Amino acid sequence: MTLFRRYLVVYSLMLWQGGFVFYSAIVVPVGTATLGSAAAQGAITARVVEALHLLGVVSLALLLWDMLAGEDPILSRRLARWIGWLIAAISHGLLLYFHFLLLNFMDPQRRYVVIHPPFYPIHQLYLWTSTIQWIVISVWLFLTIMAWKYVEDRKA
């Protein structure tokens, strides 16, 4: 069960965080260049992030399962992982909130922004929150791999 749990944690993070990085670094610039505007790309992004948010909820649940079921005798690392998970979960809630706010500033078909003044500052908050979450999850994964290694080395 331990191997299966760890596999699910890693695979869910590959989908969620890997999808986020790939979409941000590759798809958004290519889509903007191909479609001719950030607004056109934004219509696609408004839909894609919903899948990323769902993956995030599933991943956060799996990360929580790993922390509850796994063993890590080093208190500082265990505490850092819990704090990281909490920051990631709170930031995910904020991202969902920002996403729904942003949708309210778009036309019903989510093709373009119709209420401009509040859209862009909230979008900036969304981007910064996403970046913070990515950093926290990256650190969480590093600490988790250290914890897994510690347990395996101890058994060897």
| pLDDT single digits (tens) 49-91 | 999 999 999 999 999 999 999 988 899 999 999 999 999 999 9
User: What is the DSSP secondary structure assignment for residue 25, as one 8-state letter?
Assistant: I
Torsion angles phi and psi, residue 90, rounded to 5: -65, -45
Task: Give the model's confidence band at 154: pLDDT under 50 very low, under 70 low, under 90 confident, else very high.
Answer: confident
Number of domains within the chain: 1
Stated pTM of the model: 0.91
Instruction: Encode burial over 74-101: b for 16+ CB neighbours within 10 A, e otherwise.
Output: eeeebeebeebbebbbebbebbeebbee
Range of the domain at 65: 2-155
